[in-house]
Amino acid sequence: MHDQVAALREAGVRAAYLNSALSAQEASAVERAFVAGEWDLLYVAPERLVTGRFMDLLARTKIALFAIDEAHCVAQWGHDFRPEYIQLSILHERFPEVPRIALTATADAQTRAEIVSRLQLEDAQQFVSSFDRPNIRYQIVEKADPRKQLLDFIQAEHRGDAGIVYCMSRKKVEETAAWLEKQGIRALPYHAGMDVPTRQRNQDTFLREDGVVMAATIAFGMGIDKPDVRFVAHLDLPKSIEGYYQETGRAGRDGTPADAWMTYGLSDVVQQRRMIQSGDADEQFKRVGLAKLDALLALCEATTCRRVRLLNYFGEDAQPCGNCDVCSNPPATWDGSVAAQKALSAVYRTGGRFGAVHLIDVLLGHASDKVQQWGHNKLGVFGVGNDMDEKGWRAVFRQLVAQGLMGVDHDAFGALTLTEKSRAVLKGESPVWLRQEVAVKTTRKSRRPIAAPAHPADDALFEKLRVWRQAAAREHNVPAYVIFHDATLAQIAQLRPATLDQLGGVSGVGARKLEAYGAGILAVVNAAVE
Ligand code: ZN
């Protein structure tokens, strides 16, 4: 709220917010101004909005519009469900004459229907714009040594850039941040278990300073509107495409190139399946959860354009994008029927009580202590898979689980089992097509892909403008991007405006900002030109 209000005020909008960060005096000043009609826009959380006190405030002034942001939070099976959102129907009941608008950045058809019914918006017009974020490049790589893969990715493509690294657990968040720091990358942790002041400080640093990497759980991100996040990385598999798309959607909001990068492996599939199956939720909820996971796994294992799949999921048609790893490096598929039969036989012959590591040992003919202890070196399947290496088998098991041809026992840790669909494969009635893993070549890119000016002299000026912006941001106590986006500074560096008129023609420089910062910018440009 604070940063959005700050950005609006910079743009000349009379905005304010009411939340618990304000002192009692500050809050009542905001309330008085509200009743007096002095605000164009007031931000308030649903919890506060539905209180009797706030309803009285609303009744004492004239409201032109209620805007319900993050409206997908009313969706009960959504990943961001917040019960207090359902109470927002009170707005309609108490103030039927005030128009309402519900906004969300990620909602499939089902979620949109739920928003309409829960907020009683049956008569409302719907405006659905494309879900596509063409400047984001999607990349999902096979998990080998995830931390090292992450580091290579950052060093090759995003040195000095702001980014978010999502991890599943709080512990892993802390470890990842500490490890990145040790490798010379400015990184901070963020998760719900941290004390509030530290968490807040880390978030502020991420928002206000350039080039900070935030290692975080999904607790981080709601309402984070930093435009220059250059990459979002996932070290663990999210729960659904909605979650994945919302998290990756935090990259590249300024429209310049950004990356969505994820490592994904067998352990992710096993872990997510187990978590859903062993939860306390009812059967229907579990079924929905598993279906959502399956859609995400299909995306991970895709042999055709990832963007097409993502957009199809949200009910949109698309053409292959040329800007995802599958488009630029199409994987081959191979007939994995025999390999699948061997893997399923290993599961069957060992009683469905073992994880992939043990099963692969059996297939490869590795007489490990555990294999001998169970007598699995005497089975017919022992060593039948030595035409492939361990990595190859891991990929086979991962894809079988992802395709639902092999199950996960949620009581025994990571044990792989047969499913109803396994039988047809074992009998040779149903062929299995698998994805051939491709080696990913990382190309070293320049630090700022498009925002960066082409000419070195422009680049020097761009850096000077960034230094000026940082100082201006500190002075105004707002994030740097609220003053100007990188793309705007880059354009200024290229155009080198000499007058306020010329500067006013640059996109991102409105009348209010021209007045506030025009002289400062021209001084920096002049000094550089001289
Ligand atoms: Zn593509």
Q: How far does residue 426's CA lie from ligand 1's centre (Å)?
A: 34
Q: How far does residue 118's CA lie from ligand 1's centre (Å)?
A: 35
Within 10 angstroms of residue 45's Cβ, the number of other Cβ atoms is: 14
Q: Are 218 and 173 in contact (CB under 8 A)?
A: no
Q: In the predicted model, is pLDDT for residue 418 greater than 90?
A: yes
Look at residue 63 in the predicted model and tell me its pLDDT: 94
Q: In the predicted model, is pLDDT for residue 80 greater than 90?
A: no
Q: Which distant-in-sequence residues (6+ apart) come within 8 Å of 475 by Cβ? A: none
pTM of the full predicted structure? 0.79
Bridging pattern class, strands 416-418 and 162-166: unpaired
Encode pLDDT of 286-323 as tens digits.
888 888 888 899 899 988 899 999 998 888 889 999 99
Among the ranges given (356-365, 456-465, 483-492), the one the predictor scored with the smallest mean pLDDT: 456-465
Q: In the predicted model, is pLDDT for residue 456 greater than 70?
A: no
What region does 402 belong to: left with phi over 0, alpha with psi -120 to 50, or beta? Answer: alpha
Span 2-118: which CATH code? 3.40.50.300
Look at residue 451 in the predicted model and tell me its pLDDT: 47
Q: How far does residue 377's CA lie from ligand 1's centre (Å)?
A: 45
Q: In the predicted model, is pLDDT for residue 92 greater than 70?
A: yes
Look at residue 95 in the predicted model and tell me its pLDDT: 94
Q: How far does residue 263's CA lie from ligand 1's centre (Å)?
A: 17
Query: Which whole-number Å values give the CA distances from 86 to 47, 95, 173, 239, 338, in the listed order?
Result: 11, 16, 32, 23, 52
Look at residue 440 in the predicted model and tell me its pLDDT: 54
Q: What is 136-328's CATH topology?
A: Rossmann fold (3.40.50)
Look at residue 180 in the predicted model and tell me its pLDDT: 97
Q: In the predicted model, is pLDDT for residue 183 greater than 60?
A: yes
Q: How far does residue 330's CA lie from ligand 1's centre (Å)?
A: 9
Instruction: Report the candidate in 301, 111, 150, 156 with the shortest Cα–Cα distance to residue 236.
Output: 150
Q: Which distant-in-sequence residues (6+ apart) come within 8 Å of 477 by Cβ? A: 6
Residue with tokens 């002034």: 61
Look at residue 438 in the predicted model and tell me its pLDDT: 62
Whether 2-118 shares its CATH topology with 136-328 is answered yes
Instruction: Report the candidate in 212, 143, 146, 111 with the shortest Cα–Cα distance to residue 395.
Output: 143
Maximum average pLDDT range among 332-341, 400-409, 482-491: 332-341
460, two tokens: 């020097």
Q: Which residues surround ligand 1, an ion (CB under 5 A)?
A: 305, 307, 321, 324, 327
Look at residue 2 in the predicted model and tell me its pLDDT: 82
Q: How far does residue 61's CA lie from ligand 1's centre (Å)?
A: 51
**In terms of pLDDT, which residue wins out, 2 or 134?**
134
Q: How far does residue 212's CA lie from ligand 1's centre (Å)?
A: 28
Average pLDDT on 146-167 reads 94
Q: How far does residue 504's CA lie from ligand 1's centre (Å)?
A: 37
354, two tokens: 């073992």
Average pLDDT on 441-468 reads 65
**Angle (nearest 5°) at CA 137 between 129 and 478:** 75
Q: In the predicted model, is pLDDT for residue 111 greater than 90?
A: no
SS3 label, residue 244: helix
- So where are the chain's domains? 2-118, 136-328, 333-435, 456-529
Query: Which whole-number Å values give the CA distances from 377 to 314, 353, 383, 426, in the listed order?
Result: 48, 16, 8, 21
Q: In the predicted model, is pLDDT for residue 477 greater than 90?
A: no
76 pLDDT band, cuts 50/70/90, is confident
Cα(502)–Cα(363) distance, rounded to whole angstroms? Answer: 71
Q: How far does residue 304's CA lie from ligand 1's centre (Å)?
A: 7
Look at residue 4 in the predicted model and tell me its pLDDT: 85
439 pLDDT band, cuts 50/70/90, is low
Q: What is 456-529's CATH topology?
A: DNA polymerase; domain 1 (1.10.150)
Query: Which whole-number Å values give the CA distances from 84 to 48, 93, 296, in the listed order?
Result: 10, 16, 28
Q: In the predicted model, is pLDDT for residue 35 greater than 70?
A: yes
450 pLDDT band, cuts 50/70/90, is very low
Q: In the predicted model, is pLDDT for residue 426 greater than 90?
A: yes
Span 333-435: which CATH code? 1.10.10.10
Q: How far does residue 318's CA lie from ligand 1's centre (Å)?
A: 10
Cα(167)–Cα(214) distance, rounded to whole angstroms? Answer: 11
Look at residue 131 in the predicted model and tell me its pLDDT: 86
44, two tokens: 């308030």
444 pLDDT band, cuts 50/70/90, is very low
Q: In the predicted model, is pLDDT for residue 146 greater than 60?
A: yes
387, two tokens: 């035409």
Mean pLDDT, the chain, whole residue set: 89
| Helical ranges in 249-355 per DSSP H | 266-278, 283-300, 306-313, 325-328, 337-349
Q: How far does residue 185's CA lie from ligand 1's centre (Å)?
A: 30
Look at residue 75 in the predicted model and tell me its pLDDT: 85
Look at residue 412 in the predicted model and tell me its pLDDT: 64
Cα(301)–Cα(318) distance, rounded to whole angstroms? Answer: 19
Encode pLDDT of 263-272 as tens digits.
999 889 888 8
Backbone angles phi, psi at 121, to 5 degrees: -110, 30
Bridging pattern class, strands 162-166 and 213-216: parallel
376, two tokens: 């699995």
Encode pLDDT of 203-228 as tens digits.
989 988 888 999 999 889 876 778 89
Cα(376)–Cα(350) distance, rounded to whole angstroms? Answer: 7
